């Protein structure tokens, strides 16, 4: 039986599957330790303890998805982050890159995982400084992508606070930003050279023919398998000799055949030459001329013969138009794939063959986007009694204008070849076994070689573990930075609130001081809480002599014990009363009649305010 940890891991996988199906965000390639930590942070914020309960919340509250994605996708970035690395890029990599290009050649740059746009605009400023603004506007095109739509909206605005620009030198701030109310906006002409869009580097087709690809502190969130797929896509995206710029916690392990190291400390690599694809083939335009009646009949007959030849083809074939609608199904496709002529005109995605035995819809999209033919080898199709293997060829077709007009999918039966290959493999394995038996004299050397290989593998494993630990530390550092920014915001709010309270306290003290009558505030425990200037002038006692002392224990010219019953009644009924005339002695010992007014006070959970002034009759006499 599995323990509590196994059950928790299974619940996490179910939650990730639900998020993928509900919103199209596939986090299954992310590191589980990082994911679990970030999701638990969000669960604690909403007071939920288990993954199933949190999934119930996501099903009922659509806004919670946004809060969860903002928590998982930590958008910690800044202009020219890690200045030492950007200095290397500006002074060594960019000049070498420009030296390999023709003066009229377009410069293509991709910022993958651009977050709120600071990295993409840093690239625009860097190339403007290297080429000049006019040349940069003419030649440089920067693609900036991310999976976080909220961050992309912020990036597209090009607006930043003064705090976000503190790290920029003053000359760059003045040259590339202009004040827009309380914020600063990136200059509009360069902004048009930066193209923002949503893109998932683990699933979507990569941007191609790049001269520079920047993906910093993004791959570290993915596991090893996902990182391998991402690097494969980056290798395809870069032209031979193109540069790859990674984050300081990321590196290319065991990939020296495809990438050479430019600077390991700053994580800059170059794609090696070779294995590059040529430009996609586009048929030349066909010149049209007016046709006579005989020619029309000939064209119709030619089209009929062409359709018959297509239908009689020896391999199953399906043709789709640009919208993905089936426009042709030949005879072999109807026989072997179970299709009929009634399937013509239906969307291809509605047919079973589009997803079984292999998912073809995504491959068709990739073929269309990349303008190249894709092949899927030895796909297994199980029938009622036998197993068939076929190669599937997906070929995009372009019209005279170069635009995509159709896709042809063909299925080639390779069952015999596959079976023959399996038989050849079996015979080869038998021969290899016999050969190994004859090589008994080399066993000692092979054993030594295996031990060396084992040591190498252990070192590689240790290296990968160290790399993983480094990535975890970088992730934790970014989380701490994000938390620090939140604490700074809270501290600023507390300071503003303290200033407001100080201002209110000063205002109230000024009001009490300005009242000529004596005002005394008693708390629920009948201790003095406030003693204004009027009370000092009337009785001669300073505020520091009476504060927090029992009022009825004070010895001054007012016989306080005569007031006790009225005070207690006011506290009980919470009603005003007075004036009550009391014979007293002023601070100079002169007999006076003091009028006392009693009012309930709500502070400190109930109290009384006494207002005391010399009787008007007494004053006039």
Q: What is the CATH number of the domain that holds 223?
A: 3.40.50.150
Same domain, yes or no: 322 and 346 = yes
Backbone angles phi, psi at 209, to 5 degrees: 55, 45
Averaged pLDDT for residues 587-616: 83
332 three-class SS: helix
Its sign, for the CA torsion 57, 58, 62, 65, is: positive
Number of structural domains found in the chain? 4
CB 36 within 8 A of CB 12: yes
CB 340 within 8 A of CB 333: no
| Predicted pLDDT of residue 293 | 43
Is residue 274 over pLDDT 80?
no
As to burial, measured by CB atoms within 10 angstroms (0-12 exposed, 13-18 middle, 19+ buried), residue 279 is exposed
Same domain, yes or no: 112 and 220 = yes
Q: What is the CATH number of the domain that holds 597?
A: 3.30.450.20
Global pTM reads: 0.49
Same domain, yes or no: 97 and 64 = no
Is residue 277 over pLDDT 60?
no
Cβ contacts of residue 415 below 8 Å, gap of 6+?
387, 388, 389, 390
Whether residue 573 lies inside any domain: the answer is yes
Same domain, yes or no: 226 and 368 = no
Same domain, yes or no: 245 and 351 = no
CB 614 within 8 A of CB 596: no
pLDDT tens profile 216-243: 878 777 777 888 888 999 999 999 999 9
| Predicted pLDDT of residue 306 | 66
Q: Please give the share of the chain, as a percent, with pLDDT higher than 90.
A: 23
Same domain, yes or no: 103 and 250 = yes
CB 78 within 8 A of CB 164: yes
CA distance 258 to 271: 6
Last residue of a domain, one of 232, 256, 271: 271
Last residue of a domain, one of 422, 438, 454: 438
Cβ contacts of residue 515 below 8 Å, gap of 6+?
532, 534, 611
Residue 538: name the closest of 595, 500, 481 by CA. Answer: 595
Same domain, yes or no: 38 and 171 = no
Tally: H helices and E strands in the chain: 21, 20
What domain range includes position 49?
8-72
pLDDT tens profile 180-189: 888 999 999 9
Q: What is the CATH number of the domain that holds 19?
A: 1.10.155
Whether residue 453 lies inside any domain: the answer is no
Last residue of a domain, one of 438, 455, 481: 438
Same domain, yes or no: 67 and 111 = no
Both tokens of residue 536? 């000092």
pLDDT tens profile 325-384: 898 888 888 888 878 877 888 888 888 888 877 888 888 888 888 788 888 888 887 765
pLDDT tens profile 507-556: 777 677 667 688 999 888 888 888 988 888 888 888 888 899 998 888 88
Checking phi first, is residue 179 left (phi over 0); if not, alpha (psi -120 to 50) or beta? beta
Residue 49: name the closest of 91, 11, 18 by CA. Answer: 11
Give Cα 233 to chain centroid, integer Å: 20
Bridge partners (DSSP) of residue 110 are: 143, 213
For the chain, the average pLDDT equals 83
Whether residue 33 lies inside any domain: the answer is yes
Q: Which residue has the higher pLDDT, 85 or 436?
A: 85
| Predicted pLDDT of residue 184 | 93
pLDDT tens profile 84-107: 999 999 999 999 999 999 989 999
Same domain, yes or no: 99 and 210 = yes
pLDDT tens profile 408-417: 999 888 888 7
Whether residue 310 lies inside any domain: the answer is no
Whether residue 250 lies inside any domain: the answer is yes
Whether residue 92 lies inside any domain: the answer is yes
Same domain, yes or no: 153 and 258 = yes
Residue 254: name the closest of 463, 5, 58 by CA. Answer: 463
Whether residue 487 lies inside any domain: the answer is no
């Amino acid at each position: 039986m599995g323990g509590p940890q196994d059950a928790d891991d299974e619940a996490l996988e179910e939650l990730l599957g639900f998020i993928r199906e509900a919103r199209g965000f596939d986090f299954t390639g992310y590191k589980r330790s990082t994911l679990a930590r970030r999701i638990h942070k969000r669960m604690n914020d909403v007071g939920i303890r288990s993954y199933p309960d949190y999934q119930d919340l996501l099903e009922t509250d659509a806004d919670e998805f946004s809060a969860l994605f903002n928590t998982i996708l930590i958008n910690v970035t800044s202009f020219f982050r890690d200045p030492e690395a950007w200095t290397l890029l500006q002074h060594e990599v960019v000049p070498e890159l420009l030296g390999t290009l023709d003066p009229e050649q377009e410069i293509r740059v991709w910022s993958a995982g651009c977050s709120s746009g600071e990295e993409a605009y840093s690239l625009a400023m860097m190339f403007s400084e290297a080429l000049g603004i006019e040349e940069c506007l003419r030649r440089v095109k920067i693609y900036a992508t991310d999976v976080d739509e909220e961050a992309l909206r912020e990036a597209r605005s090009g607006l930043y606070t003064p705090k976000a620009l503190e790290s920029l030198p003053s000359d760059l701030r003045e040259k590339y930003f202009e004040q827009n109310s309380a914020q600063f906006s990136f200059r509009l002409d360069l902004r048009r050279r930066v193209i923002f869009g949503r893109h998932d580097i683990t699933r979507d087709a990569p941007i191609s023919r790049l001269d520079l690809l920047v993906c910093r502190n993004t791959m570290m969130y993915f596991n090893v398998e996902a990182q391998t797929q991402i690097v494969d896509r980056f290798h395809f995206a870069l032209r031979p000799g193109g540069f790859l710029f990674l984050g300081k916690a990321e590196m290319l392990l065991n990939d020296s055949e495809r990438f050479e190291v430019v600077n390991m400390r700053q994580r800059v690599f170059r794609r090696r030459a070779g294995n590059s694809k040529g430009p996609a083939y586009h048929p030349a335009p066909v010149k049209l001329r007016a046709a006579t009646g005989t020619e029309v009949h000939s064209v119709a007959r030619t089209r009929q013969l062409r359709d018959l030849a297509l239908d009689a083809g020896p391999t199953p074939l399906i043709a789709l138009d640009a919208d993905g609608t089936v426009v042709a199904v030949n005879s072999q496709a109807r026989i072997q794939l179970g299709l009929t002529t009634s399937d013509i005109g239906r969307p291809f995605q509605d047919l079973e063959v589009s997803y079984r035995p292999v998912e073809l819809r995504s491959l068709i999209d990739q073929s269309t986007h990349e303008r190249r033919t894709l092949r899927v080898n030895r796909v297994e199709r199980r029938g009622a009694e036998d197993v068939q293997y076929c190669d599937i060829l997906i070929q995009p077709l372009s019209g005279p204008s170069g635009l995509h007009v159709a896709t042809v999918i063909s299925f080639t039966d390779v069952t015999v070849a596959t079976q023959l290959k399996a038989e050849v493999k079996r015979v080869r394995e038998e021969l290899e076994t016999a050969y190994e038996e004859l090589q008994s004299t080399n066993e000692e050397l092979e054993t030594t070689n295996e031990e060396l290989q084992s040591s190498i593998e252990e070192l590689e494993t240790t290296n990968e573990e160290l790399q993983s630990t480094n990535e975890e530390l970088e992730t934790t550092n970014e989380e701490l930075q994000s938390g620090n920014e939140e604490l700074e915001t809270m501290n600023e709010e507390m300071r503003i609130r303290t200033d407001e309270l100080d201002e209110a306290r000063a205002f109230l003290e000024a009001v009490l001081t300005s009242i000529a009558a004596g005002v005394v505030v008693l708390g629920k425990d009948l201790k003095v809480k406030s003693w204004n200037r009027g009370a000092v002038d009337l009785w001669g006692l300073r505020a520091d002599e009476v504060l927090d002392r029992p009022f009825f224990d004070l010895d001054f010219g007012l016989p306080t014990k005569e007031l006790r019953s009225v005070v207690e009644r006011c506290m009980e009924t919470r009603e005003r009363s007075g004036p009550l005339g009391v014979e007293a002695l002023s601070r100079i010992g002169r007999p006076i009649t003091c009028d006392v007014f009693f009012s309930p006070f709500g502070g400190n959970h109930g109290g009384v305010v006494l207002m005391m002034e010399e009787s008007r009759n007494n004053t006039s006499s």
